[in-house]
Structure formats: structure tokens, C-alpha cells
Chains A and B, each alone.
Chain A
Amino acid sequence: MERGAVLGRLTWQLAEVVEVVAETARVRSLALRVPAWPGHRPGQHLDIRLTSDDGYQAQRSYSIASGPEDPRVTITVEKIDDGEVSPYLVDELRVGDRVEIRGPIGGYFTWTATDGGPLLLIGGGSGVVPLMAMLRHRGASAATVPAALLYSSRTYDDVIYRAELERIMTADRSARIVHTLTRSQPAGWTGFRRRIDRDMLAEVAPSAADHPLAFICGPTRLVENAAETLTELGYAAARIKTERFGPTGG
């Protein structure tokens, strides 16, 4: 087990929003300048705390989207319509605003280049966020460990980081990005058009004989099914790491 992810006390600090990127109609990335960021490992998350003028507070956790090499700390937030915190982060917060954060948190669902691979990343919807931190770190550290991302989205317009993923795919022969679009597909779409299943994993996932390291993040059903299928395909349970992520409580 990986240890020591959180060293000492995690204190709240004020971070400043320095850039806002609209990823999709419902998803925004917020790049934060954090004065005393202790560094993080790809896959970790941070806590955000909002305080209203009468002292009421709300807290949520968000995966970190940036790699540790990036001087800014970026989170990517999907707006949950009846949510409390995500609509504020997506619709209200703008460059120059400040927000209270603490982190990094979580020492298990993490990958750094020295952990090796081959790497299999499976994401559903905004579950791609911590996986993107891993890919960004992999790129920034010029790691050559083979990586495959299998990414399930509802529609083409719901694909987060679409252009950046295309660039990674084009620039890096040892990285493979595979999309599946479950609800609708643009004209001429030649990729997968169904939920992640056994046949898809058998086609995309590195062979169990190569002792891959798998990270799965998304809605419960996707995570449960993918983890169980990888086990059936011979993956060691201890090398399948999961994280639930999705529209709950946002």
C-alpha cells in the first residue's frame, strides 16, 4: 500500500482562480494559484469549502486534473443541476475570485511514472479527471510506459479534454486513447457506440500476462462492471484500483 500521502495537518488555504476553461456545456476546469501547495500525486483530490455571508458552509471533494509538474492546481467540475456546490463553481466563480481549499487527499488511487505499467485507464464521464492527471504527468515526465485510456461519454459533445486527448494520441505512439459514445454519435463515427463491456475490454486492455496496472473511475455501475470483467480477464485484484465518481451530491 502507498503511504504518507497526507503529511501532517491539512490546513485550509485561499486559492485564487487564475483561469477558467469551458470543457463542455456542463463542465469547467478551474486553474488555481495555491500559495502553499505541498505537491500531489496524480489521482489525488482536494476539498473545497464555500462560506456564505451568514457563516453557512458547504464542502465537496474534487479530483485534481493537473499533473504535479504544473505550477497551477487545476480541478475539473461537472455541474449537477440540483447540486449545491458544483453550480457555484461552474456558473458563478470567475478569474480573480478566491476559494478555500485543502489537500491533497487520498493516497491509494494514484499513479506516478515510477509505479510502471502498462497502464490501463478506464473512465466514465467526469471520472476521466483523475485519469487525465495521470496522463498529463506521464507526458510531462516523458514516461514511456504504455498507456491506454478507455473513455466512455454519452455524446461527442460530452467528451472532456477532447482536443488534448487527440494531441496525446497523435504525439505519443505509446499512448492509446479509445472513446466510446453510449447515447449518440456524430455522423461518420467509427469508434465504439455502447457501454464498456467484456468484448471492448478484451480488445483495448493490455494482456494480463504483462501485469498491467488498472485505474477505473466513473459511475458505480461502470466501475463495478469494469473491475469485475478485468478480474475475469486475469488482472490481479490488487492491481485494479477504483474510484467512484459521478453526479452524486454535487
Chain B
Amino acid sequence: MSTGFISRGFRGRRAAAPDASRLPPGQHLDPGFPVLSAGPTPRVPLEKWDLRVDGKVARPQRWTWEQFLALPHETPRVDIHCVTKWSKLDTNWDGVSLDTILEPAEPIGAYLIAHCDGDYTTNLSLEDVTDGKAWIVFGYEGDPLPPEHGGPARLLVPHLYFWKSAKWVRRLEVVDEDEPGFWESAGYHMRGDPWKEERYSGD
């Protein structure tokens, strides 16, 4: 990857250990929590909110907001990495494991497309979202997840770049083949592993 080029006069400001070892290549720490979305923040009343799992599954599932909240909770504490280069360590979330959400549906396909309010989509492999690696979260740092950060509920897939943690998620469609979602169709990587620096298509 390196061309051997050195930027004249550039010293840089490195993250101190041990944080530095938790930063994937090309990332830096951000004390804030930047908001990135492609359009207006959708507003869906909770009484109209539902979550569905369908597509290539044996038993399609649907939960209302109350039913979803009644599922077993987990409180993951994770580092998150945005493809726009900022990372945030030790973020605390409240949510439901995707294992809990997908298991009753008995998926047949190997991939899923997350569909969101605002017409956002992203693609994920089932392997990347099962075995305790992903959640649908409704709480952040002890408070309800704010709308601009994806509330009422968003995906949390912290081991991939954060665009995969789709905001305002409403439906998980299980499919046979990996199909590009919103950003993946606009030149971003199909998987997005920050440790392999899979930012853009071809990385």
C-alpha cells in the first residue's frame, strides 16, 4: 500500500498507547459522535414501527415496538469505526442480538439486506451478523437512541465500518446472493472490514 513517499514537514499526532493498538489503519480518534446520513432523518411514530425478518427464511417474523423491546437485551460495549476515518472507543449500547432476531426465522439464504426508513439499504453476510457479532440497538449511553443517530433502532455491527450499522432499520431480508446496498452501489466496499481497510470497491 505504501509508496515510500514522505510528506515534508509532517509529524502527525499519534494516539497514545493503548488506544493506538485499537485503531485500524487510517483511522483517528474522535471525541464526538459525528452524524452522517444521506438525507433527512426519518420520523416514524413508535406505534407504527415494526421490525420484520423475511425473504429466504423458513418462518418470516414480525415484531411491534413493544414486542421487540420484550426480547432479551444485551449491552454491548464496543469500538466503532467510520469509513470517513473517525473511530470512537468504548461506546455503550442497549439492544437485541441478531442471533435472537434471526434464529426464529430459520434463515435459508447466506446474506441479508437491511432495509431502513429513508430508503437506505446495506448488505451483510449472515456470518458477519451471527454468533454475537451484531445487534439491533435502541439505546446509546443509557438514553434512547437519538433520531439523528438512527433511533428508534439501528443495526450495530461494530467489526465492520459503521455504514454497515444501518440507521432506522425496519426489515432484514435474507437473500441467497450478496447484493450491493446504498453505499456499496456508490463505490464503497461490499464487506468493509476496517482492519483490512476495505473502504472502497477494489480495496
Contact = CB atoms under 8 A, between A and B. Distances in A.
User: Which DSSP category, helix, strand, loop or mixed, fits chain B's interface?
Assistant: loop
Point out which of B12, B36, B148 has the most chain A C-beta atoms below 10 A from its C-beta: B12
B40 interface: yes
Interface string A88-104: 10001000011110000
A58 interface: yes
A220 B34 contact: yes
Interface in B1-31: 1-3, 5-14, 25-26, 28, 30
B2 A51 contact: yes
B46 interface: no
Question: Size range of the interface on A?
Answer: 35 or more
Contact of A53 (B6, B38, B39, B148): B6
A14 B8 CA distance: 13
Interface stretch (B73-81, B133-141, B182-190): B182-190
A5 B26 contact: no
Contacts of B85: 59-61, 249
Question: Size range of the interface on B?
Answer: 35 or more
A100 B3 CA distance: 9
A190 interface: no
Interface in B116-140: 118-119
A220 B25 CA distance: 26
Interface in B170-196: 182-183, 185-188
Contacts of B186: 1-3, 5-6, 106-108
A106 B182 CA distance: 11
A240 B11 contact: no
B84 interface: yes
A115 to B, nearest CB: 15
A8 B187 CA distance: 8
Given A3-B186, A220-B35, A61 B26 contact: no
Interface string A48-61: 01111101111111
Contact of B40 (A7, A106, A220, A228): A228
Interface stretch (A144-152, A174-182, A191-199, A230-238): A230-238
A56 to B, nearest CB: 5
B15 to A, nearest CB: 10
Contacts, number: 133
B180 to A, nearest CB: 9
Given A84-B13, A84-B28, A51 B6 contact: yes
A242 interface: yes
A241 B37 CA distance: 9
A248 interface: yes
A9 interface: yes
B41 interface: yes
A98 B9 CA distance: 11
Contact of A241 (B5, B14, B38, B148): B38
A105 B200 contact: yes
Contacts of B26: 49, 57-59
B86 interface: yes
Contacts of A57: 2, 12, 25-26
Interface of A: 1-10, 12, 14, 49-53, 55-61, 84, 88, 92, 97-100, 105-109, 220, 223-224, 227-228, 230-231, 237-238, 240-244, 248-249
23 contacts: A1-B185, A2-B186, A3-B186, A5-B187, A7-B187, A8-B201, A9-B202, A50-B7, A51-B10, A55-B2, A57-B25, A61-B85, A92-B8, A98-B5, A105-B187, A106-B187, A108-B38, A108-B182, A238-B119, A240-B40, A243-B38, A248-B86, A249-B86
Given A88-B7, A88-B10, 10 more contacts: A1-B182, A6-B187, A6-B200, A50-B12, A52-B11, A57-B26, A92-B9, A92-B10, A237-B39, A241-B39
> Nearest 10 CB-CB pairs, A to B?
A6-B187, A9-B202, A107-B186, A227-B40, A59-B26, A50-B7, A220-B35, A84-B13, A50-B10, A5-B187
Interface of B: 1-3, 5-14, 25-26, 28, 30, 32, 34-42, 84-86, 118-119, 148, 182-183, 185-188, 200-203
